[in-house]
């Protein structure tokens, strides 16, 4: 492994040097630079930044493996985490950009009331913290696997680099590093994928060629006690696949760290094209992931099929040390495989494969040289760090801009505001380092919370705020409370969190899927309560009117164009 | 070109007529485009990828059961096309109603 370690070190050090250089180049002196990157980011660059912001350590390292084991139902993640961009592009991004201030809670404050703004700021902080903890832990895992640095040290190193560009450059520094990080992560993802596709089918475009091996995969999976790969609804009932997909889409469109990325474009038009570029960049990885999962799974299963445990392929031994692969003691030939550590510990399968192994080991299985494997380490770190930075910005801006200046320091000067925002960012980094090293036991469950909360609170509130002038503050508050209460209660009822007991799912609805129902309830309650109470002021209705048109009407233009 | 904030000038583009009537028209055209695109969004992802996935899986093209392909590949391509169509059509709509964002020299910003 030492060759791989050297290359991993080279690529990680190189990429970090680039990030620090960008941090230095994009120092800011104003809050407008710190919060919205001076609203001067070109659409393509912003699209790449959105993509890096969005694709987390989990997307990069775990998703392909997760889909490989879920089979057809892995589509909930593929459609759920891309379809939300259609909602963002058509329903939210252009209008929020036209409104043109700093944070999501700030919009809600202008549109509804100051109380709603405070509640929204708190929800934004909670959602972002639950999410950032996973990113920090993910970064630490990459460090410990590729560079043999202890996880705590890895988290600290990644955090120091994030600290450098997030504290000094704010949104501007974060944006340009995210563009660099997208480049690193997509190259690191696609090269091994192309190589694997080429080796297995002779066609280097995995999106096209993985069809050829699906029938084989269906057959071999069954021999190992798995469900038919291409058959729908083997992992979740149909109703749940529907609801989870919907929840992830709505949640994506409602996550503050994604929405604020659209505040940084030059124009409303720029926000629309940013969404297009973002989905193209994200789609590049998301259409490749299921192919990587299928190829590597087939490769692995063929490698261990009917072979005695003393003659297993070399990747088994190489990765056994990391605990990502285990073979049950006393097994002679491997008959059953699972990705559940619990099932394996209970003796229900001969072999355990962690989801992450499919991406991490695929270059090795395809026989790619050490530098490529090293590149994968830099890619995983780029994915984790870019997402963490975007989340930290939401935490810092909500805490300073939406709460501190309004409740504590009303008359802060511009200089002081920038300083306080930097301190808030610094504190957020410190807290996330602590939780990244000591992740609370419920973190894995809590990511479901993040999407459910965003889906059942922010999305309906923003949607009605833009498209229905009649929506008022009391309606929005009632809707938010109703959506939050339903989603939160059901999650606590079905998940084992904070020491509560997990109950059976009602009607097949999983806690990941309840966000869609919460959003619907929120919509209905907001509409009913708004109708029963007084409409918002003229001033607010005029604001809603204004954000619907990209620019003031220019009537002399047609004459200019006719002359061209 | 001068940044005119005036609502009406002789020779203005026809739609809208007097006062703020154009706003309603612009907005309803925007909504119509949005509803059509979101209908396609729903049919492709939730329809082909989830509700009718089993029926579509009876058809196999290049090794892909069709429903499976929509769920894991096709829907994503369609999403990209939908946003592209939206952005392009909105450019045209903005121009038509004179609300597109321009630099001082009249070029798109």
Give the residue, A520 or A347, on which the prediction is more confident. Answer: A520
Give the residue, B62 or A438, on which the prediction is more confident. Answer: B62
Report chain B residues whose CB lies below 8 A from the CB of A238.
50-51
Q: Would you tell me which residues 193-222 of chain A have a C-beta closer than 8 angstroms to some C-beta of chain B?
A: 207-208, 210-215
> Is residue B30 situated within a structural domain?
yes
CB A384 within 8 A of CB A356: no
Q: Got the DSSP string for A483-514? A: HHHHHHHHHHHHS--TTPPP-PPGGG--TTTH
User: How many CB atoms neighbour CB A311 within 10 A?
Assistant: 8
A286 touches chain B (CB under 8 A): yes
Report chain A residues whose CB lies below 8 A from the CB of B71.
72, 75, 78-79, 232
Given an 8 Å threshold on Cβ–Cβ distance, is B50 in contact with A245? Answer: yes
B36 touches chain A (CB under 8 A): no
Lowest mean pLDDT among A57-61, A70-74, A386-390, A476-480: A57-61
What is the distance between the alpha carbons of residues A325 and A332, in angstroms, rounded to a whole number? 16
Q: Which helix (H) or strand (E) holds A173?
A: helix A151-201
CA distances from A216 to A198, A297, A306, B64 (A): 17, 11, 16, 12
What is the distance between the alpha carbons of residues A67 and A535, in angstroms, rounded to a whole number? 47
CB A173 within 8 A of CB A27: yes
B38 touches chain A (CB under 8 A): yes
B50 touches chain A (CB under 8 A): yes
User: How many CB atoms neighbour CB A531 within 10 A?
Assistant: 12
Domain ranges (residues) in chain A: 1-439, 443-549
A502 touches chain B (CB under 8 A): no
Question: Which tens digits make up the pLDDT trace of A494-530?
Answer: 877 666 777 888 888 888 899 999 999 999 999 999 9
Please provide residue A112's backbone torsions phi and psi, each rounded to the nearest 5 degrees. Answer: -110, -85
Residue A143: both structure tokens together: 């460090």
Nearest CA in chain B to A230: B68
Question: Which tens digits make up the pLDDT trace of A533-548?
Answer: 999 999 999 999 999 9
Interhelix angle for A114-147 vs A414-437, to 10°? Answer: 50
Instruction: Give residue A435's pLDDT.
Output: 83
How many angstroms separate the CA of residue A192 from the nearest CA in chain B?
19
What is the distance between the alpha carbons of residues A50 and A62, in angstroms, rounded to a whole number? 20
Given an 8 Å threshold on Cβ–Cβ distance, is B34 in contact with A286? Answer: no
Of A75, A212, A276, the CB nearest to B84: A276
> Is residue B101 situated within a structural domain?
no
Report chain B residues whose CB lies below 8 A from the CB of A556.
1-2, 4, 9, 11-12
Instruction: Give residue A367's pLDDT.
Output: 76
Report chain B residues whose CB lies below 8 A from the CB of A553.
7, 22, 97-99
Burial of residue A44, with CB atoms counted within 10 A of its CB: 0-12 exposed, 13-18 middle, 19 or more buried = middle
Report chain A residues whose CB lies below 8 A from the CB of B53.
72, 232
How many angstroms separate the CA of residue A182 from the nearest CA in chain B?
18
**Strand A351-353 relative to strand B60-61, pairing:** unpaired
What is the distance between the alpha carbons of residues B21 and B18, in angstroms, rounded to a whole number? 6
Residue range A420-444: mean pLDDT, rounded: 82
A537 touches chain B (CB under 8 A): no
Q: Is the ipTM reported for this complex over the cut 0.90? A: yes
What is the distance between the alpha carbons of residues A54 and A63, in angstroms, rounded to a whole number? 13
Report chain A residues whose CB lies below 8 A from the CB of B55.
none
Instruction: Give residue B1's pLDDT.
Output: 38
What is the distance between the alpha carbons of residues A188 and A88, in angstroms, rounded to a whole number? 28
CA distances from A261 to A21, A93, A302 (A): 22, 9, 44
Task: Please name the CATH architecture into which domain A1-439 falls.
Answer: Up-down Bundle (1.20)
CB A125 within 8 A of CB A428: no
> Is residue B16 situated within a structural domain?
no
Domain residues for the domain of B83 are 22-96
Report chain A residues whose CB lies below 8 A from the CB of B72.
67, 72, 74-75, 78, 290
| Tokens 């775990």, residue located | A62
Report chain B residues whose CB lies below 8 A from the CB of A89.
83, 86-87
Instruction: Give residue A333's pLDDT.
Output: 86
What is the distance between the alpha carbons of residues A285 and A280, in angstroms, rounded to a whole number? 9
CB A353 within 8 A of CB A324: yes
**Strand A337-338 relative to strand A351-353, pairing:** parallel
Average pLDDT, chain A: 88
Instruction: Give residue A281's pLDDT.
Output: 97
> Is residue B83 situated within a structural domain?
yes
Quick one: chain B helix, strand, coil %, rounded to 5?
Answer: 60, 5, 35
Strand order in the sheet with A325-327: A325-327, A351-353, A337-338
> Is residue B60 situated within a structural domain?
yes
Instruction: Give residue A363's pLDDT.
Output: 80
Instruction: Give residue B6's pLDDT.
Output: 41
Model confidence at B91, in pLDDT bands (50, 70, 90)? very high
What is the distance between the alpha carbons of residues A44 and A94, in angstroms, rounded to a whole number? 16
Q: Under 8 Å CB-to-CB from A562, ≥6 apart: which residues?
A: none
What is the distance between the alpha carbons of residues A418 and A293, in angstroms, rounded to a whole number? 45
> Is residue B106 situated within a structural domain?
no
Given an 8 Å threshold on Cβ–Cβ distance, is A82 in contact with B77? Answer: no
Give the residue, A334 or B44, on which the prediction is more confident. Answer: B44
Residue range A458-487: mean pLDDT, rounded: 94
Given an 8 Å threshold on Cβ–Cβ distance, is A554 in contact with B54? Answer: no
Distance of alpha carbon A265 from its chain centroid, rounded? Answer: 20
Nearest CA in chain A to B78: A83
Interface probe for A, chosen from B8, B37, B79, B95 (most Cβ of A below 10 Å), is: B79
Report chain B residues whose CB lies below 8 A from the CB of A203.
none
B12 touches chain A (CB under 8 A): yes
Length of chain A: 564
Instruction: Report the phi/psi class of residue B63: left, alpha or beta, with left for phi > 0 and alpha for psi in -120 to 50.
Output: left
Interface probe for B, chosen from A72, A555, A560, A561 (most Cβ of B below 10 Å), is: A555
Given an 8 Å threshold on Cβ–Cβ distance, is B102 in contact with A212? Answer: no
Residue A336: both structure tokens together: 């059953």
* Listed ranges A104-108, A309-313, A405-409; the one with the highest mean pLDDT: A104-108
How large a percentage of chain A has pLDDT more than 70? 96
Tell me the helices (H) and strands (E) count for chain B, helix number first: 4, 2
- Exposure string for A156-173, b = 16+ CB within 10 A, e = fewer: bbbbebbbbbbbbbbbbb
CA distances from A360 to A294, A494, B52, B70 (A): 14, 32, 35, 27
Count interface pairs A-B at CB distance under 8 A: 181
Residue range A126-149: mean pLDDT, rounded: 82
What is the distance between the alpha carbons of residues A495 and A161, in angstroms, rounded to a whole number? 35
> Is residue B27 situated within a structural domain?
yes
Residue range A286-309: mean pLDDT, rounded: 89
Instruction: Give residue A441's pLDDT.
Output: 59
Of the CA atoms within 13 Å of residue A207, those in its CB half-sphere come to: 13
Number of domains in chain B: 1
Burial of residue A380, with CB atoms counted within 10 A of its CB: 0-12 exposed, 13-18 middle, 19 or more buried = buried
Instruction: Give residue A443's pLDDT.
Output: 55
How many angstroms separate the CA of residue B12 from the nearest CA in chain A?
5
Given an 8 Å threshold on Cβ–Cβ distance, is B4 in contact with A232? Answer: no
A560 touches chain B (CB under 8 A): yes
pLDDT higher than threshold 70 for residue B74 = yes
Strand, coil or helix: what is B61? strand
A545 touches chain B (CB under 8 A): yes
How many angstroms separate the CA of residue B44 from the nearest CA in chain A?
10
What is the distance between the alpha carbons of residues A498 and A510, in angstroms, rounded to a whole number? 18
Of A273, A279, A557, the CB nearest to B79: A279
Please provide residue A498's backbone torsions phi and psi, each rounded to the nearest 5 degrees. Answer: 50, 35
CB A511 within 8 A of CB A495: yes
Of A213, A267, A555, the CB nearest to B8: A555
List strand residue ranges (DSSP E) for chain B, in order: 60-61, 64-65
Strand partners of residue A201: none
Instruction: Give residue B11's pLDDT.
Output: 43
Question: Which tens digits make up the pLDDT trace of A234-287?
Answer: 888 999 999 999 999 999 999 999 999 999 999 999 999 999 999 999 999 999
Given an 8 Å threshold on Cβ–Cβ distance, is B7 in contact with A555? Answer: yes
pLDDT higher than threshold 60 for residue B12 = no
What is the distance between the alpha carbons of residues A324 and A337, in angstroms, rounded to a whole number? 13
What is the distance between the alpha carbons of residues A380 and A528, in angstroms, rounded to a whole number? 46
> Is residue B1 situated within a structural domain?
no
């Amino acid at each position: 492994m030492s060759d791989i370690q050297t290359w991993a070190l080279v690529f990680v050090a190189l990429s970090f040097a680039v990030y620090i250089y960008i941090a230095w180049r994009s120092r800011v002196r104003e809050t407008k630079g710190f919060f919205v990157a001076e609203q001067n980011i070109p659409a393509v660059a912003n699209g790449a930044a959105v993509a890096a912001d969005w694709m987390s350590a989990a997307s990069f390292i775990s998703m392909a493996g997760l889909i490989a084991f879920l089979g057809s139902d892995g589509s909930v993640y593929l459609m759920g985490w891309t379809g939300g961009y259609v909602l963002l592009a058509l329903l939210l991004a252009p209008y929020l950009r036209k409104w043109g201030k700093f944070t999501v809670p700030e919009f809600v404050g202008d549109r509804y009331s100051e109380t709603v703004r405070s509640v929204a700021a708190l929800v934004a902080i909670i959602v972002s913290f639950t999410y950032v903890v996973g990113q920090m832990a993910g970064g630490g895992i990459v460090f410990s696997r590729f560079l043999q640095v202890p996880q705590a040290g890895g988290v600290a190193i990644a955090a120091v680099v994030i600290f450098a560009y997030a504290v000094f450059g704010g949104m501007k520094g974060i944006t340009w590093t995210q563009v660099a990080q997208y480049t690193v992560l997509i190259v690191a993802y696609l090269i091994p994928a192309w190589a694997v596709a080429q080796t297995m089918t002779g066609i280097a475009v995995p999106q096209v060629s993985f069809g050829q091996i699906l029938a084989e995969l269906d057959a071999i999976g069954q021999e190992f006690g798995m469900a038919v790969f291409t058959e729908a609804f083997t992992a979740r009932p149909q109703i749940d696949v529907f609801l989870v997909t919907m929840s992830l889409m709505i949640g994506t469109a409602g996550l503050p760290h994604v929405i604020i990325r659209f505040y940084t474009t030059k124009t409303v038009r720029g926000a629309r094209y940013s969404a297009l570029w973002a989905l193209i960049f994200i789609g590049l990885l998301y259409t490749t992931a299921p192919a990587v999962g299928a190829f590597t799974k087939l490769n692995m299963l063929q490698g261990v099929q009917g072979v005695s445990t003393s003659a297993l392929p070399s990747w088994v031994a190489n990765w056994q040390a990391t605990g990502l692969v285990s073979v049950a003691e006393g097994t002679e030939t491997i008959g059953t495989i699972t990705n559940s550590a619990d099932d394996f510990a209970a003796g229900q399968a001969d072999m355990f494969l962690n989801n992450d192994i499919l991406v991490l080991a695929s270059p090795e299985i395809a026989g790619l040289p050490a530098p490529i494997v090293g590149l994968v380490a830099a890619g995983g770190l780029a994915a984790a760090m870019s997402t963490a930075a975007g989340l930290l910005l939401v935490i810092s801006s909500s805490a300073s801009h939406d709460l501190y200046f309004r409740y504590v320091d009303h008359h802060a000067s511009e200089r002081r505001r920038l300083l306080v925002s930097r301190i808030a960012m610094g504190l957020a980094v410190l807290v996330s380092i602590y939780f990244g090293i000591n992740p609370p036991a419920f973190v894995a469950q809590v990511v479901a919370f993040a999407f459910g909360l965003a889906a059942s609170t922010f999305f309906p509130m923003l949607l009605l705020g833009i498209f229905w002038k009649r929506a008022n503050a009391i309606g929005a508050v009632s809707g938010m409370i109703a959506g939050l209460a339903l989603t939160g209660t059901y999650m606590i009822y079905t998940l084992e969190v904070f020491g509560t007991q997990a109950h059976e799912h009602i009607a097949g609805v999983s806690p990941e899927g309840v966000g869609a129902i919460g959003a619907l309830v929120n919509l209905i309650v907001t509409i009913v309560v708004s109708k029963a109470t007084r409409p918002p002021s003229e001033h607010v209705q005029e604001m809603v009117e204004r954000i619907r048109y990209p620019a003031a009407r220019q009537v002399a233009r047609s004459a200019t164009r006719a002359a061209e | 070109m001068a940044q005119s904030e005036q609502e009406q000038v002789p020779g203005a583009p026809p739609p809208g007529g007097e006062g703020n009537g154009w706003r309603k028209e612009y907005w309803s055209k925007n909504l119509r485009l949005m509803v059509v695109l979101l209908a396609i969004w729903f049919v492709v992802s939730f329809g082909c990828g989830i509700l009718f996935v089993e029926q579509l899986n009876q058809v196999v093209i290049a090794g892909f059961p069709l429903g499976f392909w929509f769920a894991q590949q096709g829907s994503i391509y369609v999403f990209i096309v939908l946003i592209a169509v939206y952005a392009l059509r909105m450019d045209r709509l903005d121009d038509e109603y004179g609300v597109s964002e321009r630099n001082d020299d009249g070029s798109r910003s």
